[in-house]
Structure 1
């Protein structure tokens, strides 16, 4: 197996290990002190350092991984640049006033690094185009979405840091979870052919399983949306989506273990 393929699979497995670490830490804290109303609320518990470390690391993994299609890659990148902001800007909780100095420092640092990374990506794109390699429409959409997200973050933080501290967490969490759902949809045969518009034959081994995972995600959204008055509805939704995405990730990892695709990736 080539070093490229080995590294790719290790990164995929690292993401699962990170999700497991979050589950273990949250479970241990729940056993000690009871349930919180959301995963984000565990930021203020002894599980907080694990929560921050996991989300920041998951963001790096999602950005580093190349999606099966350009459309999937865009969704992974959007989730990847959103996840660290979920950790760096904690959800407002009663009895825990936001530390605006820490939020400003962490968010500004992240946005600065994101800008540098974006410039590096643009240089690679420019070099690729000079070499005669065209850029797909999905890649252009991804670059535009990341630039827009960065611009919104910079302007919002600069103009109204108090509003940013109060609401940026919710916006970042939304754009972390929604791409997860889109990634699953894009891995169905229909998603590959119709949305991603890939002309090459798509994978079929787990197409039915991908649809089951996608249906589970949509059902979880509907069920917990109807139960929004329940104190633990958000926690239930987050745990359901993460569990289903982890199941999808395991299936996709197995699905991608193909000797011909490995050879093509190495080439």
Structure 2
């Protein structure tokens, strides 16, 4: 097996390990001190360091992974750049106030690194213009990332207290919506129609992916109806993460195909796109 495929699989397993670590940490803290009103509220507890570290690392993994299609790759990247901000900017809680200076430092550091990465992508990409860079989905990703960066910088500079109080919710939506999109893009219909892939869909779990996507929609609707319940947000976040974890396990199994991995690492005719290790 090639080093590329091995590394790719390790990154996929690392993401599952991070979700497991977050589950164990939050579970242990719940046993020790009781339920919080949301997963994000664990930021203020003994589980806080694991919460921040796990979500940041999850973001890195999502950015590093290459999607099966350009559309999936873009959504993985968008979720990846949003996840760390969910960790850096805690949700406001009654009687708990985030350290505005710490939030500002973390957010600005992240946005500075993101800007550098963006420039690198542009420089490398411009050298591939003859290969059709950027694709339609790639252009969407570039625009969305730039817009998110501008909004983040402007918000911090204009009103850092408002940013510390409200940016968490926006970052959470910007993480979970692409997650849901990735699930749909892995269905046979998503690969052929939405992504417009040149290669046929290869999934063995089309029905399961649709079921997970439907489960995400149902979870949002159910917990929206229970919004008055103290633990509604915790229930919604837990359900969405559990569903995405289930999807990630299924997709990892789906992608375990030694013949396909070999073909993509040594494509006929030297097609650069086909040589990409995908997921």
Superposed pair shares fold, TM > 0.5: yes
- The answer to whether the 8 A contact 1:71-1:186 is kept is yes
Find the aligned partners of 1:204 and 1:21 in 2 and give their Cα distance: 28
Find the aligned partners of 2:186 and 2:171 in 1 and give their Cα distance: 23
- The answer to whether the 8 A contact 2:227-2:233 is kept is yes
- The answer to whether the 8 A contact 2:125-2:133 is kept is no
Which sections of structure 2, spanning at least 5 residues, go unmatched? 267-279
| C-alpha RMSD of the superposition | 1.1
Q: Could you tell me how far 1:24 is from its partner in structure 2? A: 0.2
**CA 117–204 in structure 1, closer or farther in 2 if over 3 Å, else same:** closer
1:181 aligns with 2:177: no
Find the aligned partners of 2:153 and 2:134 in 1 and give their Cα distance: 27
1:13 aligns with 2:13: yes
User: What residue is the counterpart of 1:79 in the other structure?
Assistant: 79
Q: Could you tell me how far 1:96 is from its partner in structure 2? A: 1.4
Q: Could you tell me how far 1:133 is from its partner in structure 2? A: 4.4
- Give the stretch that moved more between structures: 57-66 or 200-209: 200-209
Runs of 4+ in 1 over 6 A off after TM superposition: none
Find the aligned partners of 2:240 and 2:120 in 1 and give their Cα distance: 32
- The answer to whether the 8 A contact 1:38-1:238 is kept is yes
- Give the stretch that moved more between structures: 155-164 or 11-20: 155-164
1:48 aligns with 2:52: no
User: What residue is the counterpart of 1:128 in the other structure?
Assistant: 128
1:233 aligns with 2:222: no
Find the aligned partners of 1:143 and 1:150 in 2 and give their Cα distance: 11
User: What residue is the counterpart of 1:206 in the other structure?
Assistant: 205
Residue by residue over 1:149-181, the C-alpha shift from the partner in whole angstroms, topping out at 9 and shown as x without a partner, is 001000111111111111001100111111111
- Give the stretch that moved more between structures: 98-107 or 5-14: 98-107
User: What residue is the counterpart of 2:3 in the other structure?
Assistant: 3
- Give the stretch that moved more between structures: 88-97 or 152-161: 88-97
Aligned to 1:123, what secondary structure does the other structure show? Answer: helix
User: What residue is the counterpart of 2:168 in the other structure?
Assistant: 169
Residue by residue over 1:25-72, the C-alpha shift from the partner in whole angstroms, topping out at 9 and shown as x without a partner, is 000000111110000000000000000000100000000000111111
User: What residue is the counterpart of 2:37 in the other structure?
Assistant: 37
**CA 104–204 in structure 1, closer or farther in 2 if over 3 Å, else same:** closer
Aligned to 2:37, what secondary structure does the other structure show? Answer: coil
Residue correspondences, number: 266
Aligned to 1:66, what secondary structure does the other structure show? Answer: coil
Q: Could you tell me how far 1:199 is from its partner in structure 2? A: 3.1
- The answer to whether the 8 A contact 1:4-1:265 is kept is no
- The answer to whether the 8 A contact 1:85-1:169 is kept is yes
- The answer to whether the 8 A contact 2:79-2:178 is kept is yes
- The answer to whether the 8 A contact 1:184-1:213 is kept is yes
Find the aligned partners of 2:236 and 2:95 in 1 and give their Cα distance: 24
Q: Could you tell me how far 1:194 is from its partner in structure 2? A: 1.2
User: What residue is the counterpart of 2:271 in the other structure?
Assistant: none
TM-score where L is the length of structure 2: 0.93
User: What residue is the counterpart of 2:61 in the other structure?
Assistant: 61
Find the aligned partners of 1:209 and 1:97 in 2 and give their Cα distance: 41
Which sections of structure 1, spanning at least 5 residues, go unmatched? none
Find the aligned partners of 1:9 and 1:201 in 2 and give their Cα distance: 22
